Structure 1
């Protein structure tokens, strides 16, 4: 039974058949028990009701249920990001397929804008939404590194190029932004490699978006949790996999498709969908006799970011 880790100032307690949500105003990672051998499917999707006379933006619901904005937008096409309609329903994508990687340390999948943390000595995985590097300042991909150090109260030193970009917009950036609540890195930083960090934020938006200078951004409660629990030396793997799939122990086949990240400025600014990377392994998976081809095509087109059972003759999301 997945459960939502309690954040600070928790004030809501909502009960669902499969797990308990302990809801914070600020942020909540979701803790899942690891599935049995041969399985990578965890969690269950949740449907919530938008209150009558709603005054909150979609970001508020995303933060309350431990999601990034992109996760909520994929699961709820057409939703008003500024003001979801009162009385409507929202799908919270709390079911997912674990990335096909070693279950160790931190795994970041930039395509789905999620960070997976496998605490040593436990049988759980913590899933946290993230913001990543904007187009032209991408977060590194296909990289294995480690936590080099941690900093309580990081100082931000913008690059000369960053300062020039701000200047073009009429903004002046100092050579150094001191630690404190106005620092864009937030109150905690976990440095990976030489040039990048997993850090907090001084804003109330940007999680689930491409907004950073290349670093990995988390909501403040989430970075505090990682800062307190992730040791220096922890393995960190960054991947870019918009398509995840799994054959479960019962033989069912599941497919989870996210919008791929744009590969260049033209794709970023275009209204056209970015092509999905179809690897030989994926092609073999979706062409089997035991899959529902029409459902596969729907999933590849829809890109809901949620696992779908594509088995022939089987029911599923």
Structure 2
């Protein structure tokens, strides 16, 4: 596991301040054999004065909730100097065909498989909140817009009136008040978009009305590099499993989605999961705490001691 610790040089402090303003671009991973699904390496960040989760999420381009899940013992706003924060930059690929864009809702990540090279670009995304879920779908990029205009739907207008006692403007032109940000990609001919945002907080969370939100730099990269008609799949895979090299048993579990804001989804022990883990009681003892409290990190099932 890599360790990153800031040094007190003027250059590095300036660089860190820039990172607070502008997130790094997507993590890019080389893809191996089709039977290998493990990518990336977890990073350990040593906390210095002034660090907090939203800043670290932007610095390492990971989701806010992913940081929370991976570091349940940490206060996201009052990090103690010298403590270590796990940056969840290692993952298993979802069980999908490696083509186009894949958005796995429970992990709040978007994967783009490059058609010209054996690489995958991974981005954190915001998705629909409870009651306004991002739909599961198999579709395509139907349209690309720069500086899009936002026109709230009637449903949005009624919801805003119920919550705030007034209606929204009929349209919001490009600018700081436009929640679409600077770029938008339409899913097929639907009302759902992959778009930027005028609010940095909310990426890597369930915070939208159903669209997929991205950091400005990330959506610009997609806008510039992903062509019209690129295949898009939105999937729901809270549990990802892999036998790496035919024998190493790896599993990654995320909090399942729920439409009830007052409760968390429970991980279902499916027949596929039972078959993967097998009858080994020691493996189940390792896994049960993760099933009860998913942390989204890759776990290797192996004999202890």
Distance 1:116 1:59 in 2: 21
Q: Does 1:51 align with 2:48?
A: yes
1:42 to 34, 39, 43: 39
When residues 204 and 12 of structure 1 are mapped into structure 2, their CA distance, relative to the original with a 3 A threshold, is farther
Deviates more, 1:172-181 or 1:211-220: 172-181
When residues 209 and 25 of structure 1 are mapped into structure 2, their CA distance, relative to the original with a 3 A threshold, is same
Segments of 5+ residues of structure 1 without an aligned counterpart are 3-10, 14-21
Trace 1:96-107 onto structure 2 (pairs within 5 A).
Answer: 96-107=91-102
Distance 1:279 1:88 in 2: 37
Maintained 8 Å contact 2:20/2:55: no
Distance 2:52 2:202 in 1: 13
**Higher fraction of helix:** 2
Residue 59 (structure 2) aligns with: 64
SS of the residue 2:158 aligns to: helix
Give RMSD over aligned pairs. Answer: 2.2
2:293 to 295, 299, 302: 302
1:153 to 130, 147, 152: 147
Residue 212 (structure 1) aligns with: 208
Residue 265 (structure 2) aligns with: 274
Trace 1:1-317 onto structure 2 (pairs within 5 A).
Answer: 25-27=21-23, 28-52=25-49, 54=50, 56-141=51-136, 143-168=137-162, 169-193=164-188, 194-262=190-258, 264-265=259-260, 268-270=261-263, 273-289=264-280, 292-312=283-303
Residue 18 (structure 1) aligns with: none
What is the CA-CA distance between 1:280 and the residue it aligns to?
1.8
> How many residues of Structure 1 are paired with residues of Structure 2 in the alignment?
289
Distance 2:19 2:199 in 1: 20
Distance 2:299 2:123 in 1: 21
What is the CA-CA distance between 1:23 and the residue it aligns to?
5.9
Distance 2:279 2:213 in 1: 39
Residue 19 (structure 1) aligns with: none
When residues 57 and 246 of structure 1 are mapped into structure 2, their CA distance, relative to the original with a 3 A threshold, is same
When residues 300 and 229 of structure 1 are mapped into structure 2, their CA distance, relative to the original with a 3 A threshold, is same
Residue 7 (structure 1) aligns with: none
Provide TM-score, normalisation by structure 1.
0.86
Maintained 8 Å contact 1:156/1:176: yes
Distance 1:146 1:12 in 2: 41
What is the CA-CA distance between 1:288 and the residue it aligns to?
4.4
Segments of 5+ residues of structure 2 without an aligned counterpart are 3-10
What is the CA-CA distance between 1:295 and the residue it aligns to?
0.9
SS of the residue 1:278 aligns to: coil
In the TM superposition, what whole-angstrom CA distance separates every residue of 1:106-163 from its partner, at most 9, and x where no partner exists?
Answer: 000000000000111111100000000011111012x110000100011111111211
SS of the residue 1:111 aligns to: helix
Maintained 8 Å contact 1:290/1:312: no
